């Protein structure tokens, strides 16, 4: 079998990346389908006039990113159900089945559209109402301070509605940038001028801004493994070449940082997504030294560190950053809600002007009303009080979850419980792997998530990585948490492998 | 003199574009400075081993886009004041001088950042308060329906604030998409399912979406000449290759449409920006036939057609589009205000699913509150009433402007007065050219704008194209309009060239 692909020595992308990318596109476009065999690497290398090693490296990347899999002694095949993973899964029921919408594309369109981006999951992918849904990243809907928020909104509208009829500063409302710079000092140890802060439409808009600013095809992207899908897929869409670095209980293993020139590093040092580790101080310092040496920019995604339950708040990487190499990103999606579409970036001085131009080119900035209300909310102390209240609420829910896990499953290996809105639970060995548990639990009305379903991307799935479930607890009441875990235990008890007599 | 540039035969971009792009980047990065000479085309062609014709074509594009200029018999030089044009000019006073912020960049950064995007002007570039500012694209601040709007906002917040704590559908709120599809039928002759409508963060977000979907480096972009900067610069940033087509009093001259394969065409058929022409029906049909033949997608930017003063509303191109080749784009920035950051796109069926994925990847959609309030405002008939009222207001202001021009300058050559919020005035021959008038008027506190300052991009400035001023009138009271034009006349009377006797 021959694949219709060709590589060019002179292209900027390496040969292995050209092979990888062309096969990836053929899969994404459906020209290679579920279960289709790929040629053997030897065959491919002969056909294309490349070395066996190049073909092998390209296949390894396809395998590690989950596009294909290998059956030992049989061959390499396109992964099953890939369409579901490439297809959107954001809103239940709204979407036409992917296969149908794909058929609407002429071949010409399919070749031409830069459409086959992968997207992150933002809602649980099961099209079913769940009685307890441990989906990640959702703040508690009942705790939104709707009364106070409505008052701020009203006040701003009455006071300065003329701002609605103007183009406002693309970097964001001055008042909000000031309020954020006031907040970041005490909360995160970041001393920064409001001029270095840019308001973005949530982290996702921020990822695009940073990727467009810093990434060209082939730019090395150092990234946690596993990592957050939403960021990884944006960098992927701009052609970054990923260098995955393993995460352990102290966060990204900095001893694996690659020796590459002018890379971008993306990480979640405060509460690693999805595993929950906090990057240790010594690793933070090593990472910064590495960035200096390799002329790297670091994107620090601090998505949920407003909620820290144990110990003092950690100084952000940005707070340790003497040479202005760190881009810090925060969001109001977790502390307030994603419906606001508000986040912010702290920019190194060198990037302030270019980022502002790019932001104007991308979307002329965010809507005025949410920015104005948020600034007011922060200045009047409401945001600080809200955070304090939410921290207490989430701490209680976390404790309920930990207690429920313990009472139903005995001693539990849990990670990432010191902060945030989710934790990661290593499934006891007597139970099936995470994807299977997820499937069984959903049948019983309980949503628990394997890493890959839970908005995480893994480079190279291992047996160990299939032993983890992510459990978001912020949006569930204590009662829902207790009942959900009890029901999960009941469901799993039917599927436990009996331990050998001993 | 030698430029450190090199081209590759195998690259996807044509040789002339490689030369163009590399010189453009050297200028943008400041490696070639104001007034620096370029090598003669013959010299360049020898140095690089390309044909003289290739070098010539590259230079022609640099000239036509304003990067360099030619002094006959002397040579080709980098244009002056280019930094101001590449630099942002959005908000008075907020920006550090460009040269300063540039010095913060190390050479390494400057080479690496994809920062040198050009951006559109959204506010008048003169850092001075003007007593009458005919800047374009501003709705009347005093007419914003703040009372009714506040009520809708309040109602939505009380009713469904839980939406603030969720990720909502990235294509936009279902209710708003329904309201827009109801509006587009009678208003624009477009019969469309709500599922084909996507809510975007104003046109600028929409331009990026369409460009990322349809443009790769080298994709032919058919574009009006002159055209709207905001769109052109986005397509430029994704590597589109522009094919400018001249605009006359019937809109884009379709006889000039190029014979290229799979292009994207961007135009403003209802009220050409900046010249104001309406694309005639016969040209619309020719354009659609051309699109069928060349497998083109057409982006129809209908930025201000809510305000049509003469004749019935025209059927949009999208309403004539039998083969689903037209992407239609509308905005609430003109009818309500840019501070809402709300616009919408009507997508061909084939693009619905890919666009939705890309929108999620780009920014997870728009903020919920404005969408919910806008949907409510539309369903309850408030938007229709608001449009009717604004149309009357803007019609009066237009008439005051036409009368003021006539009484101060005699018979006037005016274009684009049938619709929208601005018109174009051809300056009588006895006065200096537009840039000079702009400069003189600003000294007297009156803002009038040459095409290039007024957010328009010209490919190849001619003497004729320097005879036009764009005058936005929507945000000025009748009194301000009358006084502004009177003051302009007084100012210009000192600078008129006396007509020859006889």
Q: Are residues B238 and B376 both part of a single domain?
A: yes
What is the extent of the structural domain holding B50? 15-112
Domain co-membership, A174 together with A132? no
Whether A182 and A57 share a structural domain = no
- Asked if the model's pLDDT at residue B7 lies above 50, the reply is yes
Which residues of chain A make contact with B169, given a CB cutoff of 8 A?
A: 90-91, 94
Q: B315 and B426 share a domain?
A: no
The beta-carbon neighbor of B341 closest among A91, A106, A367 is: A367
Does residue A337 share a domain with residue A280? yes
Query: What pLDDT score was predicted for residue B460?
Result: 81
pLDDT of residue A84: 46
pLDDT on residue B56 = 85
Angstroms from B74 CA to nearest CA on chain A: 35
- Does B78 reside within a domain? yes
Residues from chain B that touch A102, judged by Cβ atoms under 8 A, are 353
Q: Domain boundary residue among A334, A354, A380?
A: A380
DSSP, residue by residue, A81-110: THHHHHS--SSTTTSPPHHHHHHTS-HHHH
| CATH number of the domain encompassing residue B466 | 3.90.1150.10
| Residue A2 falls inside a structural domain | no
Condensed to tens digits (0 to 9), the pLDDT of residues B419-456 reads 999 999 999 999 999 999 999 999 999 999 999 888 89
* Residue A214 and residue A360 in one domain: yes
Q: Clarify whether residues B390 and B368 are in a common domain.
A: no
Answer yes or no: is B4 within a domain.
Answer: no
Residue B26, CB-side half-sphere exposure with 13 Å CA sphere: 22
d(CA B234, CA B59): 22
What's A292's domain CATH number?
Answer: 3.40.640.10
Q: In sequence order, which residues have a C-beta less than 8 Å from that of residue A219 and are 6 or more positions away? A: A238, A239, A240, A241, A262, A263, A264
Task: Considering only residues B27 and A108, tell me which one the structure prediction assigns the higher pLDDT.
Answer: B27
Strand pairing report for B422-426 and B413-415: antiparallel
Whether the CB-CB separation of A297 and A221 falls below 8 Å is answered with no
The model's pLDDT over A20-58, given as tens digits with 9 standing for 90+, comes to 888 887 787 777 887 888 888 888 888 778 888 888 888
Claim to verify: residue A422 and residue A335 sit in the same structural domain? no
Q: How far is residue A149 from each of residues B263, B307, B365, measured CA to CA in Å? A: 47, 35, 21
Question: Do B312 and B171 belong to one domain?
Answer: yes
Which region among A59-68, A92-101, B208-217, B401-410 has the lowest average model confidence (pLDDT)? A92-101
Residue B90 forms part of a structural domain: yes
Q: Do B213 and A138 touch (CB under 8 A)?
A: no
Helices (H), B161-280: 174-188, 202-214, 229-237
Whether B73 is covered by a domain: the verdict is yes
CA distance A52 to A72: 18
Pair A389, A344 in one domain: no
Per-residue pLDDT of chain A (502 residues; tens, 9 = 90+): 666 667 666 655 678 888 888 888 778 777 788 788 888 888 888 877 888 888 888 888 888 777 888 877 778 888 876 654 443 333 333 333 333 333 334 445 555 665 456 778 777 777 678 999 999 989 999 999 999 999 999 999 999 888 999 899 999 999 999 999 999 988 888 999 999 999 999 999 999 999 999 998 889 999 999 999 999 999 999 989 999 999 999 999 999 999 999 999 999 999 999 999 999 989 999 999 999 999 999 999 999 888 988 876 678 999 999 999 999 999 999 999 999 999 999 999 999 989 999 999 999 999 999 999 999 999 999 999 999 999 999 999 999 999 999 999 999 999 999 999 999 999 999 999 999 999 999 999 999 999 988 889 988 878 888 999 999 999 999 999 999 999 999 999 999 887 666 5
Inside any domain, residue A501: no
The residue-averaged pLDDT of B304-310 equals 86
pLDDT (mean) for B359-370: 95
Neighboring chain B residues of A154 at a CB cutoff of 8 Å? 150, 153-154
| CA–CA–CA angle B226, B231, B232 (5° rounding) | 55
Residue A390 and residue A372 share a domain: no
Cα nearest neighbour of B214 on chain A: A113
Instruction: List the single residue in A102, A234, A337 with the smallest CB-CB distance to B164.
Output: A337
Question: Does the interface ipTM go beyond 0.95?
Answer: no
**Do residues A203 and A337 share a domain?**
yes
B482 occurs within a structural domain: yes
Query: Domain with B78 in it: what CATH number?
Result: 1.10.10.10
Give the residue on B whose Cα is nearest the Cα of A356: B88
Distance between the two ends of chain A, CA-based, in angstroms?
A: 53
In total, how many domains does chain B have?
3
Nearest to B367 among A105, A166, A341 (CB): A341
Give the residue from B346, B380, B414 where a domain finishes. Answer: B380
Write the pLDDT tens digit of every residue in B32-75.
887 888 888 888 888 778 888 888 888 888 887 778 888 777 78
- Reading the block at residue A197, the tokens are 């802060």
pLDDT value at B96 more than 80: no
Enumerate residues 6+ apart whose C-beta is below 8 A from A453.
A121, A125, A435, A438
Q: Which of A380, A405, A431 is the last residue of a domain?
A: A380
Residue in chain B lying closest to A112 (CA): B214
Contact B146 A165 (CB under 8 A): no
Residue A7 lies in a domain: no
């Amino acid at each position: 079998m021959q694949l219709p692909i060709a590589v060019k020595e002179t292209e900027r992308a390496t040969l292995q990346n050209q092979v990888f990318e062309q096969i990836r596109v053929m899969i994404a476009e459906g020209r290679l389908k579920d279960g289709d065999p790929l040629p053997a690497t030897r065959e491919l290398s002969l056909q294309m006039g490349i070395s066996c090693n190049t073909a092998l490296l390209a296949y390894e990347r396809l395998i590690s990113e989950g596009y294909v899999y290998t059956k030992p002694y049989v061959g390499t095949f396109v992964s099953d159900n890939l369409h579901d993973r490439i297809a959107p899964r954001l809103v239940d029921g709204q979407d036409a089945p992917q296969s149908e919408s794909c058929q609407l594309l002429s071949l010409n369109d399919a070749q031409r559209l830069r459409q086959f981006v992968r997207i992150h999951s933002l809602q649980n992918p099961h099209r079913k109402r769940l009685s307890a849904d441990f989906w990640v990243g959702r703040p508690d809907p009942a705790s939104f301070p709707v009364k106070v928020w409505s008052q701020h909104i009203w006040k701003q509208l009455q006071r300065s509605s003329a701002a609605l009829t103007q183009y406002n500063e693309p970097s964001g409302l001055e008042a909000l940038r000031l309020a954020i710079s006031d907040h970041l000092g005490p909360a995160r140890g970041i001393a920064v001028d409001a001029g270095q802060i840019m308001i973005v439409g949530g982290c996702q808009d921020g990822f695009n801004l940073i990727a467009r600013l810093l990434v060209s095809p082939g730019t090395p992207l150092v990234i946690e493994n596993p990592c957050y899908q939403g960021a990884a897929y944006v960098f992927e869409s701009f052609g970054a070449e990923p260098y995955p670095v393993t995460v352990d209980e102290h966060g990204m293993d900095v001893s694996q940082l690659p020796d590459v020139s002018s890379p971008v590093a993306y990480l979640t040092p405060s509460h690693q997504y999805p595993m929950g580790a906090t990057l240790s101080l010594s690793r933070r310092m090593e990472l910064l030294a590495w960035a200096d040496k390799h002329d790297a920019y670091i994107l620090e995604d601090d998505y949920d560190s407003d909620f820290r339950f144990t110990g003092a708040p950690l100084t952000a990487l940005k707070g340790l950053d003497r040479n202005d190499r760190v881009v810090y990103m925060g969001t109001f999606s977790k502390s307030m809600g994603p419906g606001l579409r508000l986040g912010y970036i702290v920019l190194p001085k060198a990037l302030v002007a270019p980022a502002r131009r790019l932001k104007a080119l991308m979307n002329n900035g965010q809507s005025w009303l949410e920015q104005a209300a948020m600034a007011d909310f922060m200045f009047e102390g409401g945001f600080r009080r809200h955070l304090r209240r939410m921290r207490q609420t989430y701490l209680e829910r976390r404790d309920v979850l930990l207690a429920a896990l313990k009472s139903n499953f005995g001693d539990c290996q849990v990670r990432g419980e010191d902060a945030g809105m989710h934790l990661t639970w290593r499934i006891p060995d007597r139970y099936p792997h995470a994807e299977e548990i997820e499937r069984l639990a959903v049948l019983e009305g309980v949503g628990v998530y394997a890493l890959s379903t839970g908005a995480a991307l893994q480079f190279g799935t291992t047996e160990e990585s299939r032993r983890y479930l992510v459990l978001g607890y912020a949006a569930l009441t204590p009662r829902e948490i207790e009942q959900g875990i009890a029901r999960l235990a009941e469901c799993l008890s039917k599927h436990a492998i009996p331990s050998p007599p001993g």
